[in-house]
Amino acid sequence: MIAIPEYPPKMTAEEYLEWEAQQDIRYEYVDGEVFAMTGSTIPHNDIALNLYSILRPHLGSRGCRANVSDVKAQLNSQRQYYYPDVIVSCDPEDLKARKFIQNPTLIAEVLSPSTSAKDRGEKFTNYLKIPTLQEYLLIDSEKISVERYCRGEGRMWLYYPYIPGDVVTLSSLELEFPIEILYEGIVFETELP
C-alpha cells in the first residue's frame, strides 16, 4: 500500500509556504489547494538541463538568472505557486530572492503525457497573467517540437512553432539557438529497439 501524505484540504499561502518547507517532496499551490509534484523522466530532466545550459552563460552578463525545477514561481498575489521546469528573471528583486521568483521574463515547461494538459491549460492561463512575463516555452519531450508564446501588443500573445532544423528565437533575451541543442543526448522511445 502507498502512503498518501496528509495535508489540509485548504490552506492560506502563508500556511502552504510554512508547511511545504517541512515536506520531503515539492507541492504546487493553487487557490488554497496543494498538489504533489510527480517525478519526471530522464529525457524530461535532460531537456530542461539542456535549456539551462544554453541560457546560463548568455544571462550572466545581462543581469539575469536562470533556475530549474526546484525553484518556484509566485503568481497572482500569492494565489498560485508553481515549479516551472526552467524560469528566467531579470528583475533586481528576483536576483536577491531566496524562496521564489515573482517577476519572470521567461518560463519553460517540458511537456510529458502526464503534465501536458496542465502545462497547456491551467499553467498557461495563469502564467500569461504575469505582467513581466515576455515568453512561455512548451518543449515536447517525445519529439523535436517547441512552441513559443511571445508577448505582443496589449493582451495579445504571438505563437511560434519550431520543428527539426529550426532556430529557436528568444527575443526577450536576445538569444537564438538550433532546436536540436535542446534534444542533445535524448533518445526517443520510437528510436529504442
pLDDT tens-digit series, residues 126-148: 999 899 999 999 999 999 999 99
The DSSP output letter for 190 is: G
40 with 22: CB under 8 angstroms?
Answer: no
The residue with greater pLDDT, 57 or 115, is 57
pLDDT tens column, 7-44: 567 888 888 888 888 888 888 898 888 888 877 788 99
Fold for the domain defined by 40-187: tt1808, chain A (3.90.1570)
Residue 178 identity: P
The residue with greater pLDDT, 188 or 174, is 174
pLDDT for the residue 7: 55
pLDDT for the residue 20: 87
Instruction: Write down the pTM of the prediction.
Output: 0.89
What phi, psi does 132 have (nearest 5°)? -85, -15
Beta-carbon count within 10 A of 31 CB: 10
Instruction: Give the residue carrying C-alpha cell 495563469.
Output: 126
> Which is it for the CA torsion 33, 36, 37, 38, positive or negative?
negative
pLDDT for the residue 2: 44
Question: Domain extents for the chain?
Answer: 40-187
181 with 192: CB under 8 angstroms?
Answer: no
Query: Does the pLDDT value for residue 3 go beyond 70?
Result: no
Beta-carbon count within 10 A of 1 CB: 3
The DSSP output letter for 37 is: P
